[in-house]
Structure 1
Amino acid sequence: MNARPAATDAFRLARRTFMAGDRVDLKSLATALDVDRSTLFRWLGNRDQLLVDILISLSDPTLSAIVVGAEGTGGRRVARIAGEYAAALIGASYYREFMRREPERALRLITTKASPVQRRVVDEFARVLEQECARGELTHPLRTNDLAYLIVRIIESFIYADLITGDEPDAAKVETAVAAVLRVDDVSAPLTV
């Protein structure tokens, strides 16, 4: 006898669907799990909440791993983290497919106050900035949270350039722009990309 599905099963299936580059649809999930939509809603919330949770489940460990592995100090380290994070998002086919398929929803869920996705990325960059300041490797005139927000907006500008300006997404520009904002010497030299 098979066990009844649970909320974790529903989330895992939704995440796998998203990572396969397919549209996450609550009706299809409910059918696949043999539960009614009200049960699925109780477990996962509405579609936007589910997509936010999936995005966070992918973004948080990606950014954390980049932070742990980042070399350098001060502004150069922060710029590297920003560039590598941008490269990871640009290189994730499922992420690009979501942006292509549902651009307005994706931008709303990822880049606005309406979603915790951006807030979590800003908070992580604020932690990195605080570390570098505490080590004496970085000084800046802005409040840390304001600077972290500015860095995240730079990242977003170049990751979503195709949707905003029609240009190709470019992680190298992210790293160069963040290095310039943080007054890293010799920002014209290639950093990592």
Structure 2
Amino acid sequence: MAPEVLLRGAANHFLQHSTIDMDMLAGELAISRATLYRAVGSRDALFGEVLWAIGEILIAEASGEAAGSGPDRVIEVSRIFAELLGSAQQMRRFVESEPQVAARVLFTAAAEVRCRAIEAQLAIFQECGIEGDPGDLRRKAALYVRTLEGVLYGPLLGSGPIAFEQAEPALRALITA
């Protein structure tokens, strides 16, 4: 089975069920569970691919809607992305029902979601004209993503809900320093 077909099937499964049940997914894809695991490696890895695919769509949508330029545009893309993700019921249900899995997939290198988010943030910086030493920009992108994670997943991180407006001064300081 082609990887893109498997990913599309897994993403559709997640959007319908707010989780990934490997037995059900294998049945939906008409493959064995063993074949599914051979193709994806682990459930966490598959979650990472699915969540990143959804994240890419939301980033593109946020970038398309955002106005302005420079730091203001970076902030606007982030605000719109946070709103889009906040309105995604499947994601909210997943984080509430499987917080340990969500934390592993979203915040550790195991599923590469965080690494990809940093690369995407770096691209947004560059597209918006944020300049600087490449190493410094990468560190700023990592700090920016970590701060934005507090807004997106505050309860999962143990900090409770954080409004975007509360985090905006810190986000802005990272890109204007």
Q: Same fold (TM over 0.5)?
A: yes
Provide the rounded CA distance (Å) in 1 between the counterparts of 2:148 and 2:16: 25
Asked if the contact 1:73/1:132 (under 8 Å) is kept, the reply is: yes
Provide the rounded CA distance (Å) in 1 between the counterparts of 2:151 and 2:5: 35
Q: Which deviates more, 93-102 or 122-131?
A: 122-131
Asked if the contact 1:109/1:115 (under 8 Å) is kept, the reply is: yes
In the TM superposition, residue 171 of structure 1 has moved relative to its aligned partner by: 3.0
Secondary structure at the counterpart of residue 154 of structure 1: helix
Asked if the contact 2:18/2:91 (under 8 Å) is kept, the reply is: no
Gaps of 5+ in 1: 185-193
The answer for the alignment partner of 2:55 in structure 1 is 59
Between Structure 1 and Structure 2, how many residues are aligned? Answer: 176
Cα distance change on mapping 1:174 and 1:7 into 2, 3 Å = same
Cα distance change on mapping 1:29 and 1:182 into 2, 3 Å = closer
Asked if the contact 1:82/1:178 (under 8 Å) is kept, the reply is: no
With structure 2 as the length reference, what TM-score do the two structures score?
Answer: 0.84
**Among 173, 178, 181, the residue aligned to 2:174:** 181
Asked if the contact 2:150/2:159 (under 8 Å) is kept, the reply is: no
Provide the rounded CA distance (Å) in 2 between the counterparts of 1:15 and 1:21: 10
Asked if the contact 1:80/1:175 (under 8 Å) is kept, the reply is: no
The answer for the alignment partner of 2:91 in structure 1 is 95
**Among 120, 125, 128, the residue aligned to 1:129:** 125
The answer for the alignment partner of 2:154 in structure 1 is 161
The answer for the alignment partner of 1:84 in structure 2 is 80
Provide the rounded CA distance (Å) in 2 between the counterparts of 1:58 and 1:89: 9
Asked if the contact 1:82/1:151 (under 8 Å) is kept, the reply is: no
Query: Which structure has the larger Rg?
Result: 1
* Percentage of matched positions with identical amino acids: 26
1:47 aligns with 2:43: yes
In the TM superposition, residue 93 of structure 1 has moved relative to its aligned partner by: 0.7
Cα distance change on mapping 1:31 and 1:131 into 2, 3 Å = closer
Provide the rounded CA distance (Å) in 1 between the counterparts of 2:15 and 2:36: 19
Asked if the contact 1:66/1:81 (under 8 Å) is kept, the reply is: yes
In the TM superposition, residue 8 of structure 1 has moved relative to its aligned partner by: 4.8
- Please report the RMSD computed on the Cα atoms of aligned residues, expressed in angstroms: 2.5
Provide the rounded CA distance (Å) in 2 between the counterparts of 1:39 and 1:139: 46
More helix per residue: 1 or 2? 2
